[in-house]
Amino acid sequence: MSASDKLASAGDEELSGSQSMPLLPRVSEEKRYCGLTMHGVAWMVPLIYSALGIMLLMFVEGWPLLTSLYVMTQVVTTVGYGDFTVQSSICKVYLAFYAVIVLTLFAYYINLCWESIASQNSEVLRRYMRSIEGTRDAGLTDDELREKYGAFNHLMSALLVFTLTLATSTVFFRFVEHCSCSYGLQSVAGCEDSDFATCSATGGYVKGWVESFYMSAITMTTVGFGDFQARTHVGRIFAIIWMPIGVAVTANLVGAFAALFF
Q: What is the mean pLDDT of residues 95-111?
A: 73
Q: Which amino acid is at 91?
A: C
pTM score of the predicted model = 0.73
Q: How confident is the model at residue 76 (pLDDT cuts 50, 70, 90)?
A: confident
Instruction: Report pLDDT digits (tens) over 122-160.
Output: 666 666 565 655 555 555 555 565 666 667 777 888 898
Poorest-confidence range of 76-85, 99-108, 150-159, 183-192? 99-108
Quick one: 256 exposed, middle or buried, by C-beta within 10 A (0-12, 13-18, 19+)?
Answer: buried
Q: What is the mean pLDDT of residues 222-239?
A: 94
Q: Give residue limits of the domains in the chain.
A: 24-261
Task: Between 113 and 35, name the one with better pLDDT.
Answer: 113
- State residue 118's pLDDT score: 61
190: left (phi over 0), alpha (psi -120 to 50) or beta: left
Q: What is the mean pLDDT of residues 112-118?
A: 63
Q: Residue 50: is its pLDDT beyond 60? A: yes
Q: Residue 40: is its pLDDT beyond 70? A: no
Task: Between 167 and 35, name the one with better pLDDT.
Answer: 167
- State residue 110's pLDDT score: 61
Whole-angstrom CA distances from 75 to 39, 84, 98, 103, 178 are: 21, 11, 9, 9, 26
- State residue 130's pLDDT score: 56
Please state, in angstroms and rounded to a whole number, the distance separating the CA atoms of residues 162 and 36.
Answer: 34
At the topology level, CATH places domain 24-261 in: Helix Hairpins (1.10.287)
- Mean pLDDT, the chain, rounded, equals 78
Give the 3-state secondary structure of residue 33. Answer: strand
Task: Between 240 and 21, name the one with better pLDDT.
Answer: 240
Length of the chain: 262
Q: Which amino acid is at 102?
A: V
Beta-sheet pairing, 179-180 with 36-37? unpaired
Instruction: Report pLDDT digits (tens) over 181-200.
Output: 999 889 999 999 889 999 99
